[in-house]
């Protein structure tokens, strides 16, 4: 991000910045926004929840976003400090006081936009919020983070965790994660595979990763692009062990994912709670929909 743009974002009134962002909305975003509004215009929105009606109203005067709510506006003008690591030839930011690295192909602007998305996703009002005042990682838990990407979740709990398994299938992110978690490498296991229900050359499962130890506590976070159901099927031994388990499982990647994931978790004996509010999910070739984002489960 250029110095001039940083200064402009600091001194310009927030309402003006929001308005200009709307006027300068990229063509692809504008097309998606109009497609969403056109689709829902044909439906009786009076039967929808207040959050969905609020989201549709927001999209009439703000640029397209998967979280179309006013609380997100503060992140659109957020200007995170981005640092350059010359030794490793990549950028990083300080996340909760810890270095969080990005792939070498990321430029400073891409890092800034990604960081904005992370903070937006983990805002107290976000439906994608992993940890709440009532749902926290227990100290000395073993963490299984499936679909790590930037690593912000595990980085936020690394000092509380006893051990962390980072499952990430993309090499460029795994390379960045090894830099991010270098200060804690003695407690971190890096697994460059897809999370699934079986062990293979390209996949792994929770049960194949580790053998449950009596009295241990476990925390599982899954954001794996629609493979959550399979991954849950691959933890039968852990569930049968009787150990304390908490889970954050994303439920928005498929239309019926919430019902399927909640059934699996309930059959396992978990007490489940769905996060509040909705995320707007819209991919080319699909109808737009507002979906529940996260299932928090505990047993």
pLDDT reported for residue 81:
96
| pLDDT band with cut points at 50, 70 and 90 for residue 77 | confident
Assess contact for 272 and 296: CB atoms under 8 A. Answer: yes
| pLDDT band with cut points at 50, 70 and 90 for residue 76 | confident
> What value does the mean pLDDT take over residues 94-103?
97
Q: Does pLDDT of 106 surpass 60?
A: yes
| Percent helix, percent strand, percent coil in the chain, to nearest 5 | 40, 20, 40
> What value does the mean pLDDT take over residues 227-251?
97
pLDDT reported for residue 232:
98
Residue by residue, DSSP assigns 93-121 as: EEETTEEEE--TT--HHHHHHHHHHHHHH
The encoded tokens of residue 235 equal: 């933890």
Residue 266 DSSP SS3:
helix
Mean pLDDT, all residues of the chain: 92
pLDDT reported for residue 272:
98
Q: What is the pTM of this model?
A: 0.90
pLDDT tens column, 195-235: 999 999 999 999 999 999 999 999 999 999 999 999 999 99
pLDDT tens column, 3-30: 545 444 444 445 555 555 655 678 888 9
Task: Kindly state the percentage of the chain with pLDDT values over 70.
Answer: 92
All domains in the chain, ordered by first residue? 3-76 (no CATH), 83-121 (no CATH), 142-298 (3.40.50.150)
Q: Does pLDDT of 128 surpass 90?
A: yes
């Amino acid at each position: 991000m250029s110095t001039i743009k940083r200064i402009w974002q600091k001194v310009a009134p927030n309402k003006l910045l929001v308005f200009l962002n709307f006027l300068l909305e990229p063509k692809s975003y504008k097309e998606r926004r109009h497609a969403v509004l056109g689709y829902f215009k044909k439906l009786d929105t009076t039967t929808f929840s207040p959050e969905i009606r609020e989201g549709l109203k927001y999209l009439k005067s703000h640029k397209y976003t998967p979280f179309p709510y006013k609380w997100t506006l503060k992140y659109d003008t957020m200007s995170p400090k981005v640092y350059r690591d010359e030794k490793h030839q990549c950028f990083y930011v300080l996340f909760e006081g810890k270095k969080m690295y990005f792939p070498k192909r990321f430029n400073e602007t891409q890092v800034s936009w990604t960081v904005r998305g992370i903070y937006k996703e983990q805002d107290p009002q976000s439906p994608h919020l992993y940890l709440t005042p009532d749902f926290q990682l227990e100290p000395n838990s073993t963490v299984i983070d499936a679909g790590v990407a930037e690593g912000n979740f595990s980085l936020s709990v690394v000092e509380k965790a006893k051990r962390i398994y980072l499952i990430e299938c993309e090499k460029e992110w795994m390379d960045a994660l090894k830099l991010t978690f270098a200060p804690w490498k003695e407690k971190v296991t890096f697994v460059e595979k897809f999370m699934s229900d079986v062990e293979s050359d390209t996949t792994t499962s929770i049960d194949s990763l580790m053998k449950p130890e009596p009295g241990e506590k476990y925390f599982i976070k899954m954001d794996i692009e629609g493979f959550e159901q399979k991954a849950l099927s691959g933890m039968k031994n852990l569930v049968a062990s009787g150990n304390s388990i908490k889970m954050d499982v994303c439920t928005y990647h498929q239309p019926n994912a919430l019902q399927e994931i909640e059934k699996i978790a309930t059959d396992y004996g978990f007490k489940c709670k769905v996060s509040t509010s909705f995320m707007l999910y819209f991919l080319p070739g699909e109808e737009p929909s507002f979906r529940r984002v996260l299932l928090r489960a505990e047993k």
